Structure 1
């Protein structure tokens, strides 16, 4: 196989693995509250299975038991927040894919064929006929889609931070999705993933824009976060704001930026109140650092004295206790001592 072609394929497969992992995390973080009842029902189903009950599963129309889970999943809550409407029809939500991925996470303990059978059994046991039939169809399409992804060859090379290269690879993946699902199914199964991918691409473009200073980047990133769908915004906002704060702070410090530049960036990214809180933390940290540096200097003088080791230790203990008022500060000071001595 051509070396470049092989590298492209490896890069693409690596990206796909990262995307799938990130979406699994999204499922756990952003499952809608409206699906809480279904999660409770799934827990009941798992308990019935573990106790070897043979009665009908609540919510299903069949005399069928849920499948025996792979060892790594036994004792866990079955993550299948699947919804049906009043007429027993399947409601398209990301919970369908979450359910499939939950079972497939044990691939290796069971074969793909066994897991497909398990999912079908679970769908049949817990859903009305109409919903179960449609969900099984989506399962077939999903399996075919994942197989097609594995055989897909990336059309371009790209490096970390290469927004355009990343976009080209994603466009390839989106075309494959369109081969197996209609627009409503794509929005339900892959909507969160697509939104997050687009966010990441826009984020790359902002950071790569050399005409923007740190404050301008912070302002554009804050706007970008605010435009995220409600299903993603709250959870992503916290993690992304922290990551961007770290990156932009480092950028300002490396360029020798002023305290006012740092303040402006924080306000643009997080708002005035958060910037005030961070400024207060900075002041407290600066005060602490002054205090601990003074303590370490006095401690060093004791260690250099001609006193006996026991007297030195006694003097250091007295110094530490008189310098730091709380138990937490005493413990923190001792940590600084270890770092200083090393």
Structure 2
């Protein structure tokens, strides 16, 4: 799953950041999707395979078929879950086209929901795609505003106004309510920090009041990264004192649960394997360049590129620059 550990202006800044990536494509290319076709169940377009970067992950917000869940076929949709599902697949733009991702989502919705629900969900996706596309010109317009203490708030309010053009108030709350709560809290804290009329004691008092007013889910999300940091500090101390993998597993399982301990262990194994692969690559690269010491720069570059293609996937190759000398 793709979640940021920090939640400062999460929804707003992330939306604009994501909007600036694939919505840079020409409007005609984005509109190349035939919405009448993709909104019609049973489209004959072939559904593309999932992006490689999603391999080994579980979709956020995966809908449940009414026949399996016991929900009536016309039950209200979980709009928050649908948005997470949309974002999960849209995060792969660049690997796949918008049209391919749309077909993947529509196929999933048709398989998981009743015909009535699937059509409503696909209509929601169409509006969501249009909304995200319109974020780019909005950001271009807002970027011309001189930086000041109210700039972020102006952008936040402008984005809310744009949402209102595509979604009802209830849809906005269901899809963006938690993000907006994060953003509003961050803006309030920024206002307190930047207020020269407040003494340090007054600032601490007002910040404490914001802490107390946080919704439970936001409070838990804010505490979660701190809990992980504290746990990993304990893990480091345990390993320094001679604790092995079994002891570390028990510590993590006690702090969270066995499923989380399994994920930590899997991540450590993946990181160790990646480190070994990088070390092997750098060693082979050095030997290769040594043999090509008299070659031209373009020949050396081509040889390194061929080595990278042999050892790494396309997504992995994008990370290599951080490790090369």
TM-score (norm 1): 0.49
User: Which sections of structure 1, spanning at least 5 residues, go unmatched?
Assistant: 1-13, 24-60, 242-326, 329-342
Question: CA contact under 8 A between 2:62 and 2:81: conserved in structure 1?
Answer: yes
Separation in 1, partners of 2:216, 2:147: 31
| Alignment RMSD (CA, Å) | 3.7
Report the counterpart of residue 86 of structure 1 in structure 2.
71
Which runs of structure 2 are paired with 1:199-214 in the superposition (5 Å)? Answer: 199-214=185-200
Q: Is 1:73 paired with 2:18? A: no
1:197-250 deviation digits (Å, cap 9, x = unpaired): 111110011111223333322221121122222232221256699xxxxxxxxx
Separation in 1, partners of 2:13, 2:190: 17
Report the counterpart of residue 141 of structure 1 in structure 2.
127
CA separation of 1:229/1:98 partners in 2, compared to 1, >3 Å: closer, same or farther?
same
Q: Secondary structure at the match of 2:117?
A: helix
1:156 to 145, 160, 169: 145
CA separation of 1:15/1:225 partners in 2, compared to 1, >3 Å: closer, same or farther?
closer
Separation in 2, partners of 1:221, 1:22: 28
1:222 to 195, 201, 208: 208
Separation in 2, partners of 1:124, 1:237: 38
Question: CA contact under 8 A between 2:79 and 2:174: conserved in structure 1?
Answer: yes
Question: CA contact under 8 A between 2:48 and 2:100: conserved in structure 1?
Answer: no
CA separation of 1:173/1:216 partners in 2, compared to 1, >3 Å: closer, same or farther?
same
1:303-330 deviation digits (Å, cap 9, x = unpaired): xxxxxxxxxxxxxxxxxxxxxxxx75xx
Question: CA contact under 8 A between 1:67 and 1:121: conserved in structure 2?
Answer: no
User: Which sections of structure 2, spanning at least 5 residues, go unmatched?
Assistant: 1-8, 19-40, 228-239, 242-325
CA separation of 1:240/1:218 partners in 2, compared to 1, >3 Å: closer, same or farther?
farther
Separation in 1, partners of 2:202, 2:12: 33
Q: Is 1:182 paired with 2:168? A: yes
CA separation of 1:109/1:121 partners in 2, compared to 1, >3 Å: closer, same or farther?
same
Which runs of structure 2 are paired with 1:44-59 in the superposition (5 Å)? Answer: none
Report the counterpart of residue 217 of structure 2 in structure 1.
231
Q: Which has the larger radius of gyration?
A: 1
CA separation of 1:214/1:66 partners in 2, compared to 1, >3 Å: closer, same or farther?
farther
CA separation of 1:114/1:238 partners in 2, compared to 1, >3 Å: closer, same or farther?
closer
TM-score (norm 2): 0.52
Report the counterpart of residue 305 of structure 1 in structure 2.
none
Greater RCO, CA 8 A, separation 6+: 2
Separation in 1, partners of 2:188, 2:174: 22
Count of residue correspondences: 193
1:156-215 deviation digits (Å, cap 9, x = unpaired): 2225xx2x2211111111111000000111001111111111111100111112233333
